[in-house]
Amino acid sequence: MPLRLACTVLSLMLVAGCATVRQVDLDAWVDQPLAALETHPIFITVPVVKTVASDGTQIWNYVNGANLGQCSGGGNVWGTQINYAAYSQFASCVQRFAACNNIFYIRDGKILRYTPVGIGGARCYTTEQLQPQFRGPVNIR
């Protein structure tokens, strides 16, 4: 492997290694009102799949990844609430794609927790731009 190529590969590996999930970004969402999520400038640009667990907890999954049109049954899962069986089928389908599932658990209009889960080889990352108070312009990768 030529030196230039080796240096490029090493640089990319180092940059990818810096992309991590920061606990401070996750903790910032606890007890936030649902409106903070609904109006967040990044999350409003990402397709969302919603369901409700048997205990009444809402689960909103903002899927940041590859084209997932094949998993959406013609688009009927995006933005509306679907039953848990349909959500499980969707989750199984998206495991074939590289994506970060930004999963929010919600009850009584408040965020209980935020859990990003990478699938298909994707690695999730968080930054201060994913915290609820962020309202500026940004380019996401």
Q: What are phi and psi of 131, to 5 degrees?
A: -80, 155
9 in a domain, yes or no? no
> What pLDDT, on the 0 to 100 scale, is given for residue 14?
37
Q: What is the per-residue burial (b if ≥16 Cβ within 10 Å, else e) of 121-136?
A: ebebbbeebbbbebee
44 in a domain, yes or no? yes
For residue 13, give the H/E element and its range.
Answer: helix 3-18
69 in a domain, yes or no? yes
138 in a domain, yes or no? no
**Band of pLDDT at residue 11, cut at 50, 70 and 90:** very low
pTM higher than 0.95 = no
pLDDT at 48 over 80: yes
Residue numbers of the domain that contains 101? 20-130
3-state secondary structure of 29: coil
2 in a domain, yes or no? no
Number of domains forming the structure of the chain: 1
13 in a domain, yes or no? no
Q: Give the closest residue to 63 by CA, choosing from 111, 25, 104, 35.
A: 104
> What pLDDT, on the 0 to 100 scale, is given for residue 9?
36
Q: CA 57, CA 18: separation in Å to the nearest integer?
A: 33
Range with lowest mean pLDDT among 5-19, 44-58, 92-106 = 5-19
> What pLDDT, on the 0 to 100 scale, is given for residue 13?
38
